[in-house]
Amino acid sequence: MFSLQTIFGKGDKFYGLLEQSAATVCESAKALHEMLSKQNHGSVMAAFTATRTREKNLAAQISEGLVNTFVTALDREDIEALNSALYKIPKTIEKFAERYEIVAARLDGVDFAQRALVLERSSEVVAEMIGELRRGLRIDPVKKLQDRLQALESEGDRMLLAAYRTLYVEGGDVMRAVLAKDLFELIEKAIDKCRDVGNIVYSIVLKNS
């Protein structure tokens, strides 16, 4: 005899899929930081591509699961929003890596690693926040993580202003400044997308508290 959960689909499977998706975000951010801090460019794009492939597969599984599952642990629109927001982070990181690989020689001496470290730490907070979803939607732990995420975003913004000051005021190579600005903004965009995930998780917790 089948239980209702068996008939309608195991609704909590989305927790695991979202957690796996958040883990790929962490892997991608960590790979970027290692690439920039160790200057290890060998086969780096292969690593990013593999991570993006896993993320695409997970996103597809979540989308397909929403179609085939009658009962979900969270509201469908919330799962869709998280799926979309998580998907965009490795995509943005891969875009940075692709462009950096082309112009790295022109940007020798420009420090992207510190900003990448902020991104890596932001991705770790995102993974913690996603993990909190299956722990009962507790406001206090999620609010503390949200505060950490916002603090990291503010730290990244301060670092970006310092980098711009060096490039625009002290530098004389206009093209170098333009290329660096483009890459800095891609890292900033990835950090902002981590914040977007955090905002969605926080709103889910508030709505269900």
- Domains, the chain, ranges and CATH? 10-203 (1.20.58.220)
Check: CB of residue 142 under 8 Å from CB of residue 202. yes
The whole-number pLDDT of residue 170 equals 60
Average pLDDT, rounded, for the chain = 84
The whole-number pLDDT of residue 88 equals 93
Q: What is the pTM of this model?
A: 0.86
